[in-house]
Structures are given as C-alpha cells and as structure tokens.
Amino acid sequence: MKQVSITGPNEWVLGEVEAPRPPDGWLLIAPLRVGICGTDVELLDGSMVYFETGQATRPLTPGHEWAGCVIGWAPGVTGFSVGQVVTGENLIGCGHCELCAAGQYAICEDRCEAGLFGLPGALSGFIVRPREWVYPLPGEVSLADAAMIEPTTVSYRGIKRLRLPQDAQKVHVIGGGTLGYIAAELLRSEAFGLDVAVSAKRPESIARAISVGARLPEEGERFPFAIEVAGGSTSVADGLRALLPGGRLVSIGFTGLSMVPIPLDQLVVQDQEIIGSLAAPGVWPEVVDLIARKVVHPSALVTDEFSLDEYGKAIDLLNLRLTSTGKVLIHTHESVEAAQEAAIAEFGAEELASLRR
C-alpha cells in the first residue's frame, strides 16, 4: 500500500509499505478523506512541539483528521459492518492509569496520538484502530464533514472548558482559522446560541466568521468568556486584555514557542482564569451527533482537494499561505467501492474473508 512518511525536516516520501493487520479488538480501515492542518505542516517542517518534548520521532506518517470505511476486523470486534463509514479518535490513552479511569486520557503519560506519535496516521492506504475509539457515521454525513469531525471536537471541547453558565450571552473568539471558524459556528448554532465576536487578522477569515453569524468586536469591548485558537505569540495576552474582571479564557492554540508574554498582574488583580485544552476527550459522541443532525457544517471550510499521489502539491499550496486557501483534504481512496477494490488487491479475498468473521 502507499503511505506518506516524514523522514526529516521538510523531507518526506510516498512509498510502498506492507499493509497493517489488526490485532485482537482492532479494526482494519481504509481512509477516504484526510484533512491537512497546521499541525501536519509543523510535523513536516520540524517545529511541532512534540519533537522538542521527545514524544514525536521520525519517520512518522501524519494524518489525524480522517474519515474512512471499515474493511475488516480482528476477533473481539462487534457492531461494525464492511463498508461502513467511520471516523475515530487519535489520542488513545493506556486505559489502565488513574487519568484514563477519570476520563482524562488526553494527558495519559502512556498515550499515543495517531498521526503524531505512537501510531501511524491516515495518510496511508490502510490503518488499524482499536474498536473503542472508532465511531460509525450515518449515511447522510458527507465524507468532507466526516473528515472535519476531529477539529470540530477540539473546538467543542474548548468551548465546554469555558463552563458557560445558562445565562451566558457572549463569547470572544481569538483566531479565525479552522478552529476559530468552527468555534464561532458552534457558539452561534442551536447548541449554544450566543453572541460571538471574532478577532482575526485575515479579511477572508473575518468574512467566514461573519457568514455563520459572528461579528467583529466593538472598540474597547470586553468579554466574560474567551476562547483562543490562534496560537500567536500575543494571542493569549490580547484575549486577556479584552477579558472582563472575573472572566475566563480557554487556550487551544499551539504557539511553537517555549514562552509567551501575558499580563500576569492583570490576571491576578482582576481574578481571571486561563485554562488549557488539549484534544477532545469525552466529547466525540456529542460532536458526531451535532454533525449528523447538520447543526454545524465544518466542510464549508474546504477549498482544495487532492489525491494521495498529490500530497506534495497539497503541502506546497499550504506553504504558500494564500488567502484563498481554506481547508485542504486528501482523497486517500476516492470512494468506499474504490477502497474495497484496493483491499482485495492488497490482502486477497481469502485473507479479507478471515478479517470479516
């Protein structure tokens, strides 16, 4: 099968490798659509923080935003069918430690993050995933929306970390990229129904936020709640300066920097909070339901799509940082039918039959 491997800073290959076989309790999945985000670009150029911490090592196969179809399974898997469209969590805890038992598997010290460290990502012909972390999708969910479930869960979990009271009225979103747009859409949707002001640098990001009912902050306006998704060196500080006394700010964005400045005296004197939010533990079923019910449509961000063979073109486009470029998707297999044909060619009919008992 074909698989993208990052081998060094700004070095990658699309090569032929042996397809994985699922261990007991795991599914064999053919990725169909894979989103490329800023994290994938940082993995390629070497600036991703997980290289600094030693968690990520090369070679690695990226691709943590994905939708695919079930090809088969190993013993211990029930409730899935061949050809069923699925998505899944990439941050997988050990399942045995106190943090995992408390539902905090995102910070499990023995976790893996598929596409970043510990498990290959979805820029590959076939992947394997444990059944507990895979979610079937109803047929009415488009493949593009399905591939965008992962970033939607990240924004949604950040919003949940705000601990919004029932009488909350407005939220400040700092950042207008993928996570900022999705956060604005979620907060404006029937799920929350709030007044949302978005601060973003690019006019097209502002236009996208306005298209889902958000607005620009007014001059000197301050907010009781803020969610920072920009990952800029001053994003948190900017958010705090526009935060009311007693306000709460949740930060999602990675900066790639060891330290950033914040107005600490203001934070103390005004009794404010900063909360970090990593990944999306515990919220995937809620987000799958929201997208299945078409409460949000994250695929509206998609502007460009490429085949797996065109991965280099996709990366080149993202590196150009064109204002017209939104979300980029890779078609690992064009359709469920194409994936099933590829599986027959890769595994053979006899082995596939053994993976479907």
pTM over 0.85: yes
Q: According to the model, what pLDDT value does residue 236 have?
A: 96
Answer for the pair 10, 44: CB distance below 8 angstroms, yes or no. yes
Q: According to the model, what pLDDT value does residue 335 have?
A: 97
Closest residue by Cα to residue 299 from 87, 142, 121, 139: 142
Token couple for 105: 């598997």
Q: Set out the domains of the chain in order of their start, with CATH numbers.
A: 2-140+297-354 (3.90.180.10), 152-276 (3.40.50.720)
Q: What is the DSSP string of 131-198?
A: GGGEEE--TTS-HHHHHTHHHHHHHHHHHHHT---TT--EEEEE--SHHHHHHHHHHHSTTT--EEEE
Strand (E) or helix (H) holding 98: helix 98-101
- Tens-of-pLDDT digits for all 357 residues of the chain? 999 999 999 999 999 999 999 999 999 999 999 999 888 988 999 988 889 889 999 999 999 999 999 999 999 999 999 999 999 999 999 999 999 999 999 999 999 999 999 999 999 999 999 999 999 999 889 999 999 999 999 999 999 999 999 999 999 999 999 999 999 999 999 999 999 999 998 899 999 999 999 999 999 999 999 999 999 899 999 999 999 999 999 999 888 788 899 999 999 999 999 999 999 999 999 999 999 999 999 999 999 999 999 999 999 998 887 777 889 999 999 999 999 999 999 999 999 999 988
